[in-house]
Amino acid sequence: MWIYERTLEYPLRVCGPDPRMAACIITQYGGPQGELGAALRYLNQRYSMPTSFAKGVLTDIGSEELGHMEMVATLVYKLTEGVSVEGMKAAGLDAQYADHRHAMFWQNGEGVPWVAAYISATGDPVADLTENMAAEQKARAVYENLINLTDDYWVKDGLKWLREREVVHFQRFGEALVCVEEQLSQKHQFSVG
């Protein structure tokens, strides 16, 4: 189903270690608007979609979100690479360090672990696609907030790229919603008439 290429979707660099910024960015790894929740939500919802187009959009975007998790993890790793225990503590990452050292873990910026309650699947394709559009807008807003929190040109560059993908996903979900609504409307016309 998937072909994994050993390159990131977009090259990521950092000017240097910044564990404070890593502590903020980690929310897009496992926070409520993060990439893990998006990937699982979309890959799960595809099964209840009534059109092959909508199923394809959910599969494509859900797969891409897994790549975005990898990008977020790479940014966090690069921003904490070589940082001392004291540096991790000063950035508020002491609990992260205690449980995981420099390993990634699905959590928000405050260290709260990811929970399945972050995602939803109603089985109603219109409700799910509408929620997905809102989720992409929330993720876009978080990326914009993160961009505002750093002065690192390269970190901003990577975050801007991720933000723009959220905009594209929003548009694609809008296309899928139109397709689903058209099919449901036609189905309703035939069942009433």
What is the mean pLDDT of each successive set of 10 residues along the chain, which is 193 residues long? 80 96 95 96 96 97 96 97 94 89 88 90 95 97 98 98 98 97 78 53
Question: What per-residue confidence (pLDDT) applies to 120?
Answer: 87
Dihedral, CA of residue 9, residue 148, residue 133 and residue 70, to nearest 10: 30
Q: Please check whether residue 13 lies inside any domain of the structure.
A: no
Question: What per-residue confidence (pLDDT) applies to 9?
Answer: 92
pTM of the entire structure? 0.91
Residues in CB range of 163: below 8 A, 6 or more apart? 140, 143, 144, 147
Q: Which candidate, 36, 164, 156, 24, places its Cα nearest to that of 106?
A: 36
Q: Please check whether residue 2 lies inside any domain of the structure.
A: no
> Which phi-psi region, left, alpha or beta, contains residue 162 (left: φ > 0; alpha: ψ -120 to 50)?
alpha
Question: What per-residue confidence (pLDDT) applies to 110?
Answer: 87
Residues in CB range of 186: below 8 A, 6 or more apart? none
63 vs 43: CA distance, rounded Å: 7
Question: What per-residue confidence (pLDDT) applies to 185?
Answer: 85
Q: Please check whether residue 10 lies inside any domain of the structure.
A: no
CATH number for position 60: 1.20.1260.10
Nearest 5°: phi and psi at 71? -70, -45
Pair of tokens at residue 25: 């960015």
E strand or H helix at 1: none
Residue span of the structural domain in which 132 resides: 19-114+123-192
Q: What angle do CA 173, 162, 109 make, to 5 degrees?
A: 105
Q: Please check whether residue 34 lies inside any domain of the structure.
A: yes
Q: Please check whether residue 164 lies inside any domain of the structure.
A: yes
Instruction: Name the one residue in this structure whose structure tokens are 């219109």.
Output: 126
- Tally of structural domains, the chain: 1
Question: What per-residue confidence (pLDDT) applies to 94?
Answer: 87
Q: Which candidate, 93, 118, 91, 103, places its Cα nearest to that of 30?
A: 118
Q: Please check whether residue 88 lies inside any domain of the structure.
A: yes
Instruction: Name the one residue in this structure whose structure tokens are 């709260």.
Output: 112
Q: Please check whether residue 3 lies inside any domain of the structure.
A: no
Q: Please check whether residue 78 lies inside any domain of the structure.
A: yes
Neighbours of 23 (CB within 10 A): 20
Question: What per-residue confidence (pLDDT) applies to 2?
Answer: 64
